[in-house]
Each structure stands twice: as structure tokens, then as C-alpha cells.
Amino acid sequence: MAKLQPVRGTHDLLPEQVRSHRYVEETARAVAERYCYAPIDTPIFEFTEVFVRTLGETSDVVSKEMYSFEDKGGDSITLRPEGTAGVVRAVISGGLAQELPLKYFYGGPMFRYERPQKGRQRQFHQIGAELLGVPEPTGDVEIIALGAHILEALGLQANTTLELNTLGDQASRTAYRDDLVAYLSRYRDDLSADSRERLGRNPLRILDSKDRTDREIVAGAPTFDDHLTPTAAEFFAAVCGGLDDLAIAYTLTPTLVRGLDYYCHTAFEFTTTELGAQGTVLAGGRYDGLMEIMGGPPTPGVGWAAGIERLAMMSHDAEPAPRPIALIPVGEEATVRAASLAYRLRRAGLIIDLAHRGNLSRRMKRANKHHARAAVLLGEDELQRQAATVRDLDSGEQTEVSLDDLEARLAAFR
């Protein structure tokens, strides 16, 4: 049992799970299409530099969660831990920034070396949307609306809450950061070990610490509101106003901070209480500086990503399994004939399940288990008459049908 295990944090997706994943992904894709977000697929690995530059050396993802390796050419390669960096890289390397604004929707596996727990795996799947080249707050509103719309389409509207915050522009951030560090430094010794560590690298993240004393200290900390530049404040007000116009409900969460360096202005998370400690279901924000950091032309962007596993855990719907027609030969000659008949019927567009083995009773049981719509019995008698018996497995009715008419008669069971 212990001999052949999947790598820790990875899972096989059996047909049922694949169908529920697909349901999530296809539902989202259909909604994204209405917003004119075009599909894009980037490689699942990139040069390590792509992620280090964009996510920031101090981010947790880069400092401890990346699957990196050296390839045979000596290049450092990393399995993508998130989707935005790859999409932005593609835009730059493909010269796509000529045609701004760009709207992309993507989906696929991501990799993070973390300790697995509920709603968290080392290989997991995300869907995501990116809007590039729109500096206006209407872009933020659209991208959030898209996320809300998808959650609604998945029937998860009632289970999720939209939390919203602004990280301001560069000027707001540095001013706030300085003030915050000054304040927190006074309580340095009372802070948790984790937070003391963060004080130097990423002080903003102390704001959403779960440690009790940290929270008490944070409660008295200077708030970001007071440090927002007029431009940043105005921008955020426009985003909030836009959401109000669409009647999309949100909660302002001043402690909401994004873990990745490239975010600015709007930060948002759709959260749930249904998934234990992993409450975030769909999250993102604005990343105006990202293109430039990567060496592209200065281009604003907003986007989000959502975890397919997490969405699938909450939505109990799945793509329905197709209902086949079971082709059941009886006897040697019929068995030989069945192969070509199955081929013929499949080419006519029918879903044919051919079991290859077992007696009639056995195969009928299988047909039933596979939820077959009908069974086509092909025996010696029928063959002599160039016919087959067609049984409706829902009603139990059965009739003999000429082989020539089979396609036409089976069309009723599609």
C-alpha cells in the first residue's frame, strides 16, 4: 500500500472528480466569454526568474514554496505557482501589448511546495482572469463583477463574502509603511515571532496576523485610510461606487493584504467559512507595476485567480456522465459482428458501450450500472433476420429492429 504512492500533495482525479472540475471550469469559461475574456494557455513552467522578479524575493511563494529545478541546459526552471506572471510574460514576449486592452481567461494546474491540508495541495488547479491596459477603476469593477458572476453561476453566491480593501499607490504605501513600522516597533517584544520576522520584510502582513496579541496591537495601529493620497482615495471610492451600482455586496476589510509584491490599489477576496482554514475561494487585485517590473512597457492590470478544488468542494454539481447505448452480442458470430457494428454506430454519432466480455446477464448488469439509455441485443436469431433487439432500459420496452434502420431507431436514445 505504501509502495506506490502519488507524490505528497498530489491526487489522481478519477472520472467523477474530473467531471466536477470540468463543471466548474466550463461554467466559469462560459461566463468569462460573455465578458469577452479570451482563452489563453501558457506553459506550466517558466524560467525561475519570471516568478522571482514578479512575486518578490520576500514573498512566501518565492522564498519557500517553489518547485524549482535545473534543466539539462543549465537553466533554472520553476513549475508555475500562480498564473498571472506567465500571462504577463506571454504578453511581453508575444508583443501583445500593442493591442491593449487585453482580456484573458485561463485555467490549469499550479504547484506550490506547502504542507497539504484541507483545500490545499501541492498540485492544484486554478482558473483566472486578467485585464491588461485599463487604468480606470471601471476595470476593477468589471473584473470583480466577473468573479461574482461566476460564483453566482456556480450557485455559491450565498456561501461567499466579498472582502475589499485598497493598498493605495506607491506614495500611499511607503508613507503608511513607515508609520506602521514606527508604531509596531514600539511593541516589538510583544509581537509574535512570526510578526517580528515580518516587521523587517513585509510589515503590512502583520495586519492580518491570527496571533491574539498581534491582533490587539494591530487594533491600535495607524490605519491605511489616513495615508491614502487623494488620487488613491478617489480611485478606491470609484471602485466601491461602481460595485454599488451593480449591487454587488462587499465588506471593507482594512486588514486585507495580498501576499504578493506586485499588488497595488484594489485588493479583494471572496471568502467562505465552509472550507476550514482555507477560506479564500477567489482572490486578486490590481497590479499596475507588474509589466514594467518584468521589462515590458508600463501597463496597468487587474486580475484574480480561483481554486478549482475549493470551488468544486463547495458546488456539488458536476458535468453529467453521458448515457451510453450498450451493444450486447450473444454468441461467437455476433461477437465478431459487434465490433464493426459498434464502429458504424459510433461514426453515426451514438455513444456505444461495448463490454468485450461476459455473458448476457453480466453485460446487462454492466449496462445498468453505467446508466445506459438502451441495450442493443445481437444474437443468432436476430442475425439470421438481419435485425437486433433494442431494449429501452428506462421503460423496459423492447422491439426488434432491422440492422439497416438501427441508426435511425437509436437516434431516440441520444
Q: Which of residues 52-81 bind RNA (CB under 7 A)?
A: 59-61, 65
Q: Tell whether residue 141 is a contact of RNA (CB under 7 A).
A: no
Among 145, 181, 360, 401, binds RNA (CB under 7 A): 360
3-state DSSP assignment of residue 264: strand
Compute the least distance from the CB of residue 38 to RNA, in Å.
21
**How far apart, in Å, are the Cα atoms of 154 and each of 149, 262, 358?**
9, 29, 41
Q: Which is nearer to RNA, 82 or 142 (CB)?
A: 82
244 and 193 Cβ atoms separated by less than 8 Å: no
Residues 177-196 that bind RNA (CB under 7 A): 194
Among 257, 291, 294, 345, binds RNA (CB under 7 A): 257
Q: Tell whether residue 124 is a contact of RNA (CB under 7 A).
A: yes
Q: Which stretch binds RNA (CB under 7 A): 136-144, 245-253, 254-262, 293-301?
A: 254-262
**How far apart, in Å, are the Cα atoms of 70 and each of 44, 45, 46, 76, 123?**
15, 12, 11, 4, 19
Q: Which is nearer to RNA, 264 or 305 (CB)?
A: 305
Q: Tell whether residue 353 is a contact of RNA (CB under 7 A).
A: no
Q: Tell whether residue 8 is a contact of RNA (CB under 7 A).
A: yes
Q: Tell whether residue 5 is a contact of RNA (CB under 7 A).
A: yes
Compute the least distance from the CB of residue 98 to RNA, in Å.
28
**How far apart, in Å, are the Cα atoms of 283 and each of 171, 331, 347?**
24, 59, 44
What is the torsional sign of CA 200, 82, 171, 248?
A: negative
In which region does residue 396 sit, left (phi positive, over 0), alpha (psi from -120 to 50) or beta (all else)?
Answer: left
Q: Which stretch binds RNA (CB under 7 A): 97-105, 157-165, 183-191, 366-374?
A: 366-374
Compute the least distance from the CB of residue 373 to RNA, in Å.
9
Q: Tell whether residue 21 is a contact of RNA (CB under 7 A).
A: no
Residues 78-97 that bind RNA (CB under 7 A): 82
Single out the residue of 98, 53, 62, 7 nearest to residue 287, CA to CA: 53
Phi, psi at 125, each rounded to 5°: -125, 140
3-state DSSP assignment of residue 160: coil
Q: Tell whether residue 309 is a contact of RNA (CB under 7 A).
A: yes
Residues 282-301 that bind RNA (CB under 7 A): 282-283
Residues 384-413 that bind RNA (CB under 7 A): 389, 391, 393-394, 396, 398
Q: Tell whether residue 279 is a contact of RNA (CB under 7 A).
A: yes
Please give the Cα distance from 231 to 137 (Å, whole number): 12
Q: Which is nearer to RNA, 241 or 358 (CB)?
A: 358
Longest dimension (CA), the chain: 95
3-state DSSP assignment of residue 50: helix
Compute the least distance from the CB of residue 114 to RNA, in Å.
6
Compute the least distance from the CB of residue 230 to RNA, in Å.
28
Residues 98-117 that bind RNA (CB under 7 A): 112, 114-117
Compute the least distance from the CB of residue 312 to RNA, in Å.
11
Q: Tell whether residue 362 is a contact of RNA (CB under 7 A).
A: yes
Q: Tell whether residue 274 is a contact of RNA (CB under 7 A).
A: no
Q: Which stretch binds RNA (CB under 7 A): 149-157, 183-191, 225-233, 305-313?
A: 305-313
Please give the Cα distance from 214 to 222 (Å, whole number): 14
Q: Give residues with Cβ within 8 angstroms of 218, minimum separation 6.
A: 206, 207, 209, 255
Please give the Cα distance from 135 to 53 (Å, whole number): 22
Hunting for cell 436514445 — which residue is that?
A: 413
What is the torsional sign of CA 334, 339, 344, 350?
A: positive
Q: Tell whether residue 129 is a contact of RNA (CB under 7 A).
A: no
Among 21, 103, 227, 258, binds RNA (CB under 7 A): 258
Among 187, 382, 410, 413, binds RNA (CB under 7 A): 382
